[in-house]
Amino acid sequence: MIDGPSLVTLGLQTSQDDIPISEYVLELRELLAKHCGGPYCDEIKEFALILRVGGALQEFEFEGCERIRQNRREQYITVDLGVPSYRWKSLSRQELREYLVETVKTGLLCCLERLARDKIQVNSGRLISDLIVVQDSYLKAPPDTLVRE
């Protein structure tokens, strides 16, 4: 991990029984912290992505981006990313990795669209380039087996 806060952060809300997906998210979070340190924008210090992962105790009824919020005073933008359980529970390890990294990419693109609409300058090329490094590293996965049996 890098010293200090990461510019791209990844939060997770899920049920306690969903340990397998938590492990994948933690690995992705570490790679984002390592490779997405910015700076990408003078007005935004943090891109806060929140995965809302459905499970046995709580289900989220959306997929993709919802509730994009920008806080100019505290200099962050955040987005909720819905991951319903029916989308992830039967995936292989590699498919889950691909799904999660695409979800994170979608979240960042939603944030960039919002900032462009608000006329805030972002070095989006650098952010996407750093995200590709994360994606390439993350997709080097162990042999393909089922996450849930």
Domain ranges of the chain: 8-138
What is the rounded average pLDDT of the residues 25-31?
A: 93
Tell me the pLDDT band of 16, cut-offs 50, 70 and 90: low
**Cα(132)–Cα(145) distance, integer angstroms:** 24
Tell me the pLDDT band of 19, cut-offs 50, 70 and 90: low
**pLDDT at residue 85 greater than cutoff 80:** yes
Which residue has better confidence, 41 or 16? 41
pLDDT value at position 38? 86
Contacting residues for 48 by C-beta, under 8 A, at least 6 apart? 9, 11, 76, 77, 78, 79
